[in-house]
Structure 1
Amino acid sequence: MELRLLVTFEKVATVLSFTRAAAELAYAQSSVTAQIRSLEASLGTELFDRLGSRIRLTEAGERLLPYARQIIALADEARTAVAEAEEPAGTVTVGTMESLTSYRLPALLELFHHRYPKVRLALRPTLGDETRQALRRGTYDIGFLMEAESEHEGLESEVLTEEPLVLVAAPTHPLVGRDGLTTAELAAGQLVGPEPGCAYRDLFEAELRTAAGPDERPVFLEFGTIEATKSGVAAGLGVALLPRVTVARELAGGTLAELAWRPSFTLFTQLAWRRGKRLPAHVRLFVEQSRRLVREQSGQPAA
């Protein structure tokens, strides 16, 4: 079995799309199809079921996938072992989330674009559990997490910084300037937030439920992005709990106001990768630069 065929198979098996795999591998779709057929012919079995415009792994494909990933990882390690002194090169597939991509990572992306042009960063927007699962499967090399826990089964993780949260409202909101604001009052009021699955949204909702009582469920006006959430809050649609880094500009400019309330939980921005995985040089470089830049942004010395 040729390594390039296994690389193509692993990519198709991960994204379950010949078209998307071709785009990510920079191949023509016909080349991807031909390589999969060649691998199937060499193994004497079909690896994918073709279901109209969709595909799925056959039982044989499911059995091959973990071996393909092991072979690819070993090949990467071999290349790293003999080429560590060369200019960093390779792809880093990164699971991340909007609050980090938009507000923590621009400096990191700019650094790699200009200083390490041979390192390609492939960002995958996913939330906590989906990111962790992708890291365990080997679909992602690195994942950014913003969670209360810092230990994750099957993963190595490193806390980069504590991520302060702030409750914000429009400057004209009646709760602005109020002292002694209670969680029960918030639970009974108008709430705005990102979609469920976001760690701080879920923890905030759990805290509100505890204060509201077992028969009450806080109602959120849900927006798909942080920018949309901020716009809804600024328009007077309710209050929202968001990472301070995402609203620093609006608080400084007076378009949003901070309320006198603090959550009982603390979140940490973290880097994670699969436990036991030897990170290639270009992935280690990404970890080192992420650590340095995020900690600099937070006013902490790099470890």
Structure 2
Amino acid sequence: MELRLLVTFEKVATVLSFTQAAAELKYAQSSVTGQIRSLESSLGTELFDRLGSRIRLTEAGERLLPYARQMIELAEEARAAVLGAEEPAGPLTVGTMESLTSYRLPPLLELFHHRYPGVRLSLRTTIGDETRQALRQGAYDVGFLMERETEHAGLETAVLADEPLALVAAPGHPLAASAALSTADLTDQVLLATEPGCAYRDLFELDLESVAEHPVSFMEFGTIEATKRAAAAELGISLLPEVTVAGELADGVLVRLPWEPPFTLRTQLAWRAGKRLPAHARLFVEQAVRLVREQQRASRG
């Protein structure tokens, strides 16, 4: 089995799209299709079921995938060892989330773009269980999590920092003048949130339901930016990571309400347990830890 065919197979198996795989690998789609057919021919079995415009792995493809990933990882490691690894290089698929991509990661991405151009970063936006599952399956090399727990089955983690949360509203909101608020004070308010699956939204909902006399519901928005704008327009209140609303709080567009969440979230970087991270992935973890901690020190100072 040729390594380049396995690389193409792994990419198609990860994104489940010949078109997307071709774009990410910078091949013509016909080349990707031809390489998959060559691999299937050499193995004497089909690796994908073609379902109209969609594809999925066959049982044989499912069995091949972890071996393909191991062989690709070993090839990258061998190349680095032979070349002396003076400059970190290699592909790195990173699971992330909107709050981190937009507000925590720009300095890290800028660092790798300018200083380590050989590291080819590919960001995938998922949250919570999706990210953990993708890491366990090997679809992601590393993934960012924002969770209360710091131990996750089948994963190793590096805790980057505690992630403060802020309950915010427009300056004209009735609660903005309150001296103190309890959870019970919030249950009759219009609650604004991103989609379910964010740890802070789910934990907030559980806390509200523990004291509410009626079911708690949220007005849901697709993004943090949309949620902030809704809060600024006096549509309701929202609990969000403090880093995502720091600018609006400083400018007075939003105000912080006097309520502290009874839970703490920690931003973490995780990878599959037992996986030998190549040098460029270890560098990414080290730099992520350093930069996020520097950001937090600067925000406190």
Both proteins in one fold, TM over 0.5: yes
User: Which has the larger displacement, 66-75 or 283-292?
Assistant: 66-75
How far is the alpha carbon of 1:219 from its aligned partner?
A: 1.6
Partner of 1:296 in structure 2?
A: 294
Which segments of 5 or more consecutive residues in structure 2 lack a partner in the other structure? none
How far apart in 1 are the matches of 2:125 and 2:215? 29
How far is the alpha carbon of 1:179 from its aligned partner?
A: 2.3
When normalised by structure 1's length, the TM-score is: 0.95
Partner of 1:55 in structure 2?
A: 55
Native 8 Å contact 1:47 1:57 kept in 2:
yes
Partner of 2:4 in structure 1?
A: 4
How far is the alpha carbon of 1:154 from its aligned partner?
A: 0.6
1:50-102 deviations in Å (ceiling 9; x for gaps): 11111112222222222222222222222233234321111211100011000
Partner of 1:94 in structure 2?
A: 94
SS at match of 2:10: helix
Partner of 2:276 in structure 1?
A: 278
Partner of 1:41 in structure 2?
A: 41
Counterpart mapping for 1:220-299 below 5 A: 220-299=218-297
How far apart in 2 are the matches of 1:44 and 1:5? 15
How far apart in 2 are the matches of 1:85 and 1:196? 42
How far is the alpha carbon of 1:165 from its aligned partner?
A: 0.5
SS at match of 1:299: helix
How far apart in 1 are the matches of 2:63 and 2:295? 44
Say whether residues 1:152 and 2:152 are aligned partners: yes
Structure 1 counterpart of 2:249, one-letter code: L
Native 8 Å contact 1:97 1:127 kept in 2:
yes
1:159-211 deviations in Å (ceiling 9; x for gaps): 11100111000001111121231211201111111111111000000100001
Counterpart mapping for 1:128-277 below 5 A: 128-213=128-213, 216-277=214-275
Native 8 Å contact 2:144 2:268 kept in 1:
yes
Which segments of 5 or more consecutive residues in structure 1 lack a partner in the other structure? none
1:197-237 deviations in Å (ceiling 9; x for gaps): 11100000010000104xx2212111111111000000000
How far apart in 1 are the matches of 2:79 and 2:274? 18
Counterpart mapping for 1:48-127 below 5 A: 48-127=48-127
SS at match of 2:91: strand
Structure 1 counterpart of 2:275, one-letter code: K
How far apart in 1 are the matches of 2:70 and 2:255? 51
SS at match of 1:32: helix
Aligned sequence identity (%): 74
Structure 2 counterpart of 1:77, one-letter code: E
User: Which has the larger displacement, 99-108 or 55-64?
Assistant: 55-64
User: Which has the larger displacement, 74-83 or 204-213?
Assistant: 74-83
How far apart in 2 are the matches of 1:268 and 1:46? 43
How far apart in 1 are the matches of 2:38 and 2:224? 46
Native 8 Å contact 2:76 2:90 kept in 1:
no
User: Which has the larger displacement, 186-195 or 53-62?
Assistant: 53-62
Superposed structure 1 runs of 4+ greater than 6 Å apart? none
Instruction: Tell me the number of residue pairs that the alignment of Structure 1 and Structure 2 aligns.
Output: 298
How far apart in 2 are the matches of 1:108 and 1:288? 11
User: Which has the larger displacement, 154-163 or 172-181?
Assistant: 172-181
Native 8 Å contact 1:177 1:260 kept in 2:
no
How far apart in 2 are the matches of 1:137 and 1:83? 29
How far apart in 1 are the matches of 2:116 and 2:77? 20
SS at match of 2:297: coil
Structure 1 counterpart of 2:82, one-letter code: V
How far apart in 2 are the matches of 1:195 and 1:168? 17
Structure 2 counterpart of 1:33, one-letter code: T
Native 8 Å contact 2:93 2:123 kept in 1:
yes
How far apart in 1 are the matches of 2:224 and 2:85? 41
Native 8 Å contact 1:93 1:121 kept in 2:
yes
How far apart in 2 are the matches of 1:199 and 1:76? 35
